[in-house]
Structure 1
Amino acid sequence: MTRVIIVGGGIGGLALAQGLRKSGVAVAVHERDRHRADRLQGFRIHINPHGSRALSDCLPPELFAAFVASGGKGGNELTFVTERMKRLLRLDEDITTGGSSAPEDGHYGVSRITLRQILLSGLEDVVHFDKKFERYELEPDGRVTAHFADGTSATGDVLVGADGGGSRVRAQYLPHAGRVDTGIVAIAGKYMLTEESRALLPPELRSGPLSVMPPKSCSMFVAPHELDGGVGVNDRDDPGALFDNTKPYVFWAFAAKREYYGTDVESLGCLELRDLALKMTTGWAPQLRAMVALSEVDTLTALPIRSAVAVEKWTSSAVTLLGDAVHSMTPFRGIGANTALRDAQLLCRKLVAADRGGPLVGGIAEYEAEMTGYGFAAVRTSLEAAQRAVGGTKAARLTSRGVFRVLDAVPALKRRAFGGFEDQDAVRER
């Protein structure tokens, strides 16, 4: 029997664990967090059809149903507007989903916290907390032993590094691989939706994701996280799970190059970040500025944007990587989590095949060949999207806005330009 050790209990690592468990493959996850409820930071993320199909494959049916139920309203639409809230282009549900109504083909706006809690469900005997990975050793018999800071170790046939952008597994396995600072910093926050605050925002800011395209070298993304009533996930047996999906909010992120801010944005406190975001949006629509001004102060954060550097193909072994541990990317196309889920789905299939008698390292090599292809392509296009969002001359940006208006006015052109959108990774948020 194949035994798989996963280092890292994020979205990709847990999806892989769920898929292996579902298929009867022995798996253990070692997570550095001390408790299940430790990792409660994060914003709404977009799950596209690649991610939805991966979750459908990896999760038991009841957990996939819980994921679908936890998705917010309006995830299947995307609207581009000016900084004055003038519509440029709207991509309706029939374009973004390709007309499919199947749950696994949908786009979902979900809480990162809630998704992780769903992925943890049923893995109580699989996930081991308070396990800080330090190093691994290749054993003479071909197996791998992972060593942890508490002095314990675990030995298996495969070691999967799913430990994020600062991966310690990658640092040992591919020490030449790394990430670069793109020079872009985002200020992000949450506008909590209550009965009173909801009335202060226009429907456009509450109905679905918006991409704001100003003429200057910056951008803003806005997306609601709002449910159609209770979904049942909050009533699961574990009161320590701390699901947050009953607290609706609007997520927003303003992004620009570091020098655009004129100050050391990463050193600022929450109130200072809010004031800076308001300064950067002077002259914008009052609705957008009110959203920033009235956001929950404690949610304001500065996010330096980093991106992986593609590496040459390495010789495959019993050690491999998935998600941000190998191909971390900017959030500007919202595909990081989806690519990690795609990794989990593909690697799960290869490891299940190995458990059934197929070649282990050969299967991992097939996974890595495919994963590095689509993974580093996603890194590249994500970086390009980030550079476009905060770059370009005023003339070029105004030209792009004009093209969007034309496409929006001619449905046939819009369909031609965005045909197959459901398999493209649109400009989305983290």
Structure 2
Amino acid sequence: MRVSVIGAGLGGLALAQGLRGAGIAAEVYERDPGIVARFQGYRLMLDPIGFQAVRDCLPARWHPLLDEIVMEASAEQLILDPQLNEIGRLGAARTGIVVDRQVLRHLLLTGLTVHTDAALTGYELPADGGVQAQFARRDPVTADLLVGADGVTSAVRGVLSPHTVPTDTGVRFVIGRTPLTDEFAGLSKAYGSKIAGDGVSLLLGAMCFRTPPKHAAERLAPEVELPDIGDYVRWAMILPPNGSPADLTAQESVLSRMDGWHPQLRALIEQADPDNSTLLSIRVVEPGARWASGPVTLLGDAIHATSPTGGNGANTALRDADLLRRCLIDADEGRRTLLGAVDDYERQMFGYGAEAVRSSLEKLPAFAPVAVTEVDQGFGRLG
């Protein structure tokens, strides 16, 4: 069996690793000009399903390394005012395994064949079976299965399910990271909580490695090369619609809304790495009507992009990767047909994927009080 994975995000790489471990040929095609062309290094919290999924997709010999580069975390989910006084609670405390996306991505890249500058333009289904992927600047590639793991703007989805399109919630947020120094020790109670300002919310999360990733890899898995990074605070400010003037940088946009805030909070933003601070929009993709099962399918944000306020985007993508891996192994070993395996995967994925989107949108108003009419009408769950 040959599998072509479009997109080198966490879900696509986890799938490729899992297939590689089972002896199934899988190659990854990424539209970016290079693996590190865009910074992808923010903190993620994985739930038990998401963490077990990525663990099962990785070779067992790397499990000790994986365990060394994550941290267990518990977030109180408080609501604080700009002076860090508690004024409420978001809900029950949340626990999970925290991992750095950049570090995990480099671990998942190890040993894979990844073709960069490979922007998909479409695909064809030859009469003799399989699928032929077509690219802007490389020769076509034929495989038994094409997996679109290429994100919210998925080129694969554009052909397979053109009626499934992203919905812009209208909410914008600035995300960045700042080295975790002693100066910010007093912010610990804010990690995992919401700091409520005038029309904005600031969210903080600490990434503290048990062992610096580069050193952990050198000791436990010398064949793996991980980034040389230290502990940091991930921060994100959720803005109202049109809340960021075009003439301000990402950091300036945040600081402009923090007049009178606690000096440690302002210092956190002032000392952030400007190259790793960016303005993003919150867009969602909800699985719609199923297409007829065939040699093309979708994974992760390409079919069920969630609001980051749900904390379930990476978890759901990794769950996809592990489920599809197991289904394809069954097909490769003759326990079912390939199309039967894909159909089983899609049937399960559509169910929990749609629920992940709905759940994330239900949580969005707690962080961005201004709801967007189109999203309310489209999903019927906000108000």
Residue 192, structure 1, aligned to residue 183, structure 2 = no
Q: Which residue of the partner structure matches residue 173 of structure 1?
A: 160
Deviations 1:171-223, CA, capped at 9 Å, x for gaps: 01111111011111112222223xxxx23223443x78322152754322101
RMSD after superposition: 2.6
Query: Which of 107, 112, 118 is equivalent to 2:107?
Result: 118
C-alpha contact 1:75 1:208 (8 A) present in aligned 2 = no
> Residue in 2 aligned with 1:255?
238
Q: Which moved more, 1:82-91 or 1:303-312?
A: 82-91
User: Could you tell me which residue of structure 1 aligns to residue 148 of structure 2?
Assistant: 161
* Counterpart contact for 2:77–2:89, Cα < 8 Å: yes
Secondary structure of 1:108's aligned partner: strand
Give the alignment of 1:26-425 within 5 angstroms. 26-72=25-71, 75-83=73-81, 84-87=83-86, 88=88, 96=94, 107-123=96-112, 126-193=113-180, 198-205=181-188, 209-214=191-196, 216-231=198-213, 232-233=215-216, 235=218, 243-244=227-228, 246-259=229-242, 261=243, 264-265=244-245, 267-270=246-249, 273-357=250-334, 358-391=336-369
Structure 1 unmatched ranges of 5 or more: 98-106, 394-430
Instruction: State whether residues 68 and 211 of structure 2, in contact with CA within 8 Å, keep that contact through their aligned partners in structure 1.
Output: no
Distance 1:91 1:69, change over 3 A: farther
Contact 2:328 2:338 in 1 (8 A): yes
Q: Which moved more, 1:329-338 or 1:308-317?
A: 308-317
Partners of 1:136 and 1:147 within 8 A in 2:
yes
Q: Partner amino acid for 1:75?
A: A
Residue in 2 that maps onto 1:21: 20
Sort the Cα spacing of 1:277 and 1:128 in 2 relative to 1 into closer, same or farther, 3 A: closer
Q: Does structure 2 conserve the Cα–Cα contact (< 8 Å) formed by 1:75 and 1:209?
A: no
Contact 1:202–1:287 (CA under 8 A) maintained in structure 2:
no
Q: 1:359-406: CA deviations, max 9, x gaps?
A: 21122111111111111111111122122311179xxxxxxxxxxxxx
How far does residue 242 in structure 1 lie from its aligned partner after superposition? 6.2
Report the 3-state secondary structure (helix = DSSP H, G, I; strand = E; otherwise coil) of the residue aligned with 1:40: coil
The one-letter amino acid paired with 1:120 is L
- Give secondary structure in 1 for the equivalent of 2:73: coil
Q: Secondary structure at the match of 1:182?
A: strand
Shift of 1:316: 1.2
Please state how far the C-alpha of 1:354 moved relative to its aligned partner.
0.8
Task: Flag the 1:385–1:339 CA change in 2: closer, same or farther, 3 A.
Answer: same
Aligned to 1:415: none
Matched residue of 1:339: which SS?
A: helix
Alpha-carbon distance between aligned partners in 1 of 2:357 and 2:58, rounded to the nearest angstrom: 26
TM-score by length of 1: 0.78
Change (3 A) 1:37 1:238: farther
Show CA shifts across 1:333-360 (max 9, x none): 2211111000001111111111111121
Residue in 1 that maps onto 2:6: 7
Supply the distance in 2 between the matched residues of 1:55 and 1:226 (Cα, whole angstroms).
20
> Does the aligned pair in 2 maintain the 1:219–1:255 contact within 8 Å?
yes
> CA deviation digits over 1:287-334, x for unaligned, max 9?
322322332333331111111144112221111000011111211122
Unpaired runs of 5+ in structure 2?
372-383
* Distance in 2 of aligned mates of 1:302 and 1:129: 25
Could you tell me how far apart the structure 2 residues matched to 1:175 and 1:29 are? 23
CA-to-partner distance for each residue in 1:31-72, whole Å, 9 max, x for gaps?
223444434344222222121110121111232332221124
CA spacing shift, 1:216–1:119, aligned 2, 3 Å: same
Greater shift after overlay, 323-332 or 284-293? Answer: 284-293
Alignment identity in percent? 36
* Residues 285 and 302 in structure 2, CA contact (< 8 A), matched pair in contact too: no
String of CA shifts for 1:108-142, please: whole Å, max 9, x gaps.
2222111110001122xx32333222211101122
The one-letter code of the counterpart of 1:372 is F
Report the TM-score when normalising by structure 2.
Answer: 0.87
* Alpha-carbon distance between aligned partners in 2 of 1:219 and 1:356, rounded to the nearest angstrom: 50
- On the 8 A contact 1:145/1:154 being kept in 2, the answer is yes
Query: Following the alignment from structure 2 to structure 1, what is the Cα–Cα distance between the partners of residues 117 and 272?
Result: 34
CA distance in 1, matches of 2:106, 2:350: 28
Contact kept, 8 Å, 2:306 with 2:356, in 1: the verdict is: yes
For 1:353 and 1:199, the matched residues in 2 are separated by 51
Q: For the residues of structure 2 that align with 1:164 and 1:68, how far apart are their CA atoms? A: 27
| Contact 1:81–1:210, Cα closer than 8 Å, also in 2 | no
Q: Look up the equivalent residue of 2:194 and give its one-letter code.
A: V
Shift of 1:91: 8.8
CA distance in 1, matches of 2:56, 2:276: 34
Q: How far is the alpha carbon of 1:256 from its aligned partner?
A: 2.4
**Counterpart code for 2:161:** L
Q: Deviations over 1:212-245 (max 9, x none)?
A: 1527543221011222343434536579x5614x
